[in-house]
């Protein structure tokens, strides 16, 4: 151990970082670039991570927020992000004769299908999620205006008035806090016992596993760093979980340069995790930053094994023509 560096025990959460949906979305952009060459247009950030987006920009991806920003008449691929889009977006792409590729995470597509089925069966759909998040906009956009009621908080769950309490169903955003969502669902179920829910919970396996890992390690450390972007819902939830579990200092950081050493410079134990759209290289960068100031001993804490894989969108699979 270095004589001039204080000791720092680092607990590395596992699983952490990229989930299968994020891997699929990034691979979709890279495969499209390899097959068709630049530019490849991407509607919205493919995943919520600046490092990933900048890396894809350097390879020839062009990010736009709306389809009208894509040049008319282009034959270049236009890819929809992992968060999913409203029904009107692929319809608009078809009307403009764009070569559209949908990189929506299959677990988000599952929520879209559930909402659509509930609507067809005459149920009002309650969506538990965060207003303005691309995934919520996409899910609400699967159904006609007014067919989906957004509930963000327990207070809103208590005050929500359905059109018909006997014909009600709920779905959720895939990246929510497990505990907050359970509280909201419990309130709604108590008020509306006939409410129908998903057969399998909508909060995705990756969100669940990363939050469970944080719950395990947060009480054991002085501080926690969540590597992720401020607009990443699942990353924000990880920081909140750490705080709730008693970790006295928790921060969401994008890069090592964001670390507040006034807070993190005098600790003896640290946990590190990463949101589902944060690459492992950024975790390593954070560890290196601490290793420059501390004598670091890293332990990995495994709480789940992940082997989920999603194939690429059909247009990008080499076996698609076979």
Name the residue ranges covered by the structural domains of the chain. Answer: 7-18+205-302, 20-105, 107-191
pLDDT score of 195: 98
CATH 3.40.1010.20 fits 107-191, yes or no: yes
CATH top-level class of 20-105: alpha beta
pLDDT of residue 17: 96
pLDDT of residue 8: 98
Same fold, 20-105 and 107-191: no
DSSP state of 2: -
> What per-residue confidence (pLDDT) applies to 322?
41
Which residues touch 174 (CB under 8 Å, ≥6 apart)? 105, 107, 108, 111, 135, 202, 203, 204, 207
Q: What local confidence, expressed as pLDDT, does residue 3 receive? A: 62
Q: Is 145 noted as a catalytic residue in this protein?
A: no
Residues of the chain with pLDDT under 50: 1, 320-322
Set 54, 135, 152, 166: catalytic member: 135
Cβ–Cβ under 8 Å, residues 83 and 134? yes
Residue 242: both structure tokens together? 């750490």
What fold characterizes domain 7-18+205-302? Answer: Cobalt-precorrin-4 Transmethylase; domain 1 (3.40.1010)
For residue 232, the model assigns a pLDDT of 94
> So what's the pLDDT on residue 321?
41
pLDDT at res. 319: 62
* CA-closest candidate to residue 207, choices 276, 260, 135, 111: 276
* pLDDT of 54: 97
């Amino acid at each position: 151990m270095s004589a001039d560096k204080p000791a720092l025990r680092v607990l590395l959460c596992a699983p952490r970082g990229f989930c299968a949906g994020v891997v699929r979305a990034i691979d979709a952009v890279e495969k499209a670039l390899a097959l068709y060459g630049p530019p490849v247009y991407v509607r919205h950030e493919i995943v919520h991570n600046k490092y990933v987006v900048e890396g894809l920009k350097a390879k020839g991806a062009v990010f736009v927020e709306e389809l009208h920003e894509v040049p008319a008449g282009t034959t270049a691929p236009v890819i929809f992000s992992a968060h999913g889009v409203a029904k009107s977006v692929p319809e608009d792409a078809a009307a403009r004769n764009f070569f559209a590729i949908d990189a929506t995470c299959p677990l988000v597509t599952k929520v879209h299908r559930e909402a659509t089925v509930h609507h067809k069966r005459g149920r009002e759909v309650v969506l538990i999620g965060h207003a303005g998040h691309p995934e919520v906009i996409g899910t609400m956009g699967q159904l006609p205006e007014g067919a989906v009621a957004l509930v963000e908080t327990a207070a809103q769950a208590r005050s929500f008035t359905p059109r018909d309490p006997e014909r009600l169903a709920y779905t959720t955003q895939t990246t929510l806090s497990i505990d907050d969502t359970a509280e909201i669902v419990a309130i709604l179920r108590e008020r509306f016992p006939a409410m129908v829910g998903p057969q399998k919970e909508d909060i995705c396996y990756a969100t669940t596993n990363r939050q469970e890992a944080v719950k395990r390690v947060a009480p054991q450390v002085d501080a926690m760093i969540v590597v992720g972007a401020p607009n990443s819902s699942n990353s924000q939830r990880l920081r909140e979980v750490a705080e709730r579990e008693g970790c006295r200092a928790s921060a969401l950081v994008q890069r090592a340069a964001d670390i507040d050493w006034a807070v993190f410079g005098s600790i003896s134990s640290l946990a590190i995790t990463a949101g589902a759209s944060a690459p492992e290289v950024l975790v390593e960068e954070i560890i290196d930053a601490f290793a420059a100031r501390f004598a670091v001993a890293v332990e990995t804490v495994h709480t789940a094994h992940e082997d989920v894989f999603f194939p690429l969108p059909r247009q990008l699979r080499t076996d698609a023509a076979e």
